Structure 1
Amino acid sequence: MTFSVSWHTLLEECDDLPEEATLLTPLSQHRFRIGDVQEHRIVVEYLDRDVDETRPLQRDQFETLYRRITEAADGFDLSRLPTDADPYPAVLSLHPRFEVDADAGVIRETESPTGTQIIEGAPGVAPAGDEAEERTEPDVEVYGDALLLIDALERHDVTDLEELETSSLINLYTLLSDMQRNANDLRQAVSDALLDRLHHDQPVHGQFGSVQRTSRRRRNLKDEDEVLAALEEAGIDRERVLGVDADKVDDALEVTDLTESAVYELEEREYVRKAEVDEEVKETRLQGMKDRLAVSDDPEADELRAEIEELEDRIEELTEFKTGRKFHTQSGVE
């Protein structure tokens, strides 16, 4: 399909939208409507801006985005968009063959009709993102810990992690690590699912952050007689390490040519640790959720607003990023 055909299909879709149909930009979460449809541009009107509320979106820019999408095997990464280009993928999602995947952070071409970035005002059209499905409480203990984590869990089947895309696993793991409360069992499961997909010293990025594969080594002393025999053979008097105290054994290793493996059972295990948290993306997504709740008449909206206010009070502490030098030795993952 040529761009010219796709462009005229997009114009027809825009013309058919009700005047009150409201769209949402996928990154900045700004609400806007289609103001005018012309042969070479689509004019949009922002609903939550005091200045620059009207913006013309040019055909040639849509064509550039179209080329990028069709050339990408797994969709075009939305984070590569210029700051002022956020409405383009939202409008293009009105075309039945293009969709925005918020989980993966991409816009892609599909073979079948898809949902759009419309969030209200268009009867019969499935809304985008968080509004796509009715909120339901998942059967997991961590529900309620934070609004962002709830949002991610509702859009993923965490009972079958092997079926999730790597980018989705990374998003889940980042949020679970941030919470560090009531999530250890599920976080370990996500770590196990990611482990075979990562390589050492090669961070893999998702929408909310990145993870990388690393290793940790644990030492356990061998049988006491075996340790003493090895030390005596190396010329170390058994009285110096009587009782096989690990500190004394380490002192002895420093003055001999013995290797650690002679007196320690060495075990190396792989695990996943959080490498980076994108606070700006998380704050932007949270603000977008607040904006949608502000215009919602749903009886649950007041409760959700209270949850968001509480989350904002503790978001800095809960999302604090710790470097790889700090470990929780009681857990296999960070």
Structure 2
Amino acid sequence: MPFSVSWHTLLDELDDLPGGATLITPLSHKRFQVTDVQEQRVVIEFLDRDIDETRPLQREQFETLFRRITEEPGGFELDRLPADADPYPAVLSLHPRFEIDEDRGVIVEKEGPTTSQLLDAEPESESDEQERTEPDVDVYADALLLVDALERHDVTTLEEVDTDALVNIYTLLSDVQRNANDLRQDVADVLLNRLHHDRPVSGPFGSVQRTSRQNRTLKDEEVVVETLEDAGIDRERILGVDRSKVDEALEVTEVAESDVYEIETSEYVRKADVDEERKETRLQGLKDQLAASEEEGAEELREEIEDLEARIDELTSFRTGAEVSD
């Protein structure tokens, strides 16, 4: 099928998008909307940018991507895209014959039904109130209690805070740290399947990226000794020594690390950047929302916090001289 036919099919799909339809890029996971559809270009507007939020996507670039996809039987690998070009496959995924497979990191041409990068056909208005729900994770209750405790005590002058309050704050900090780290690891495990090719992925508060680390452990002692002896290192020089001596020997020989070390490479998620200003804005918004909420709703939240605090107090309070009955 010639590109001109596919291009006009895509333009028809874009013209049929409902107002406020939101798409997401496959690599950086940035949200954007199509604001104008023209014969030679498509204009988009990023929702997570404060500068350069509007950008034209040119027809000739779509044609280049179209030809590369159709020439690759297994799909075109997204990491081969030029920097900041992932809005193109996101828009092209609206065409009924193209689909993005994020698990494989490719965009492919298909004969059957396809999915797109379309997120919300009719996103909720910012003024619409969302119903509050309590997530079933341990860190949620601890975090609420910690926020309440920090609001009631001036932790900028810890020396002036009562011992009982410090005990509770320390307990909550410990619980939040432990439970947050457990949840962080669960989130990281899922993110690993969505991050590709060491490219940072941005969210409203910051960004993460996929990277790797190597853990080295010495192979069997006799294997290490014989390998280095063959390279001209006396047995007495390394026998019974620590790994630093082995590293010194590696520096003066052509022996590879893998000859004397068992090397395992593991993947993990590392925090790459934090937008402190955005976090502060969001926190202030939460405070303003609570302050402006109806009295009944605000009172319900306060009662919830007090109930949670009472539960943690029962677990952390010390009663001098109290007897424990069976």
Identify the TM-score tier after normalising by the shorter chain.
0.3 to 0.5
Structure showing greater radius of gyration is: 2
Q: Greater share of helix residues, 1 or 2?
A: 2
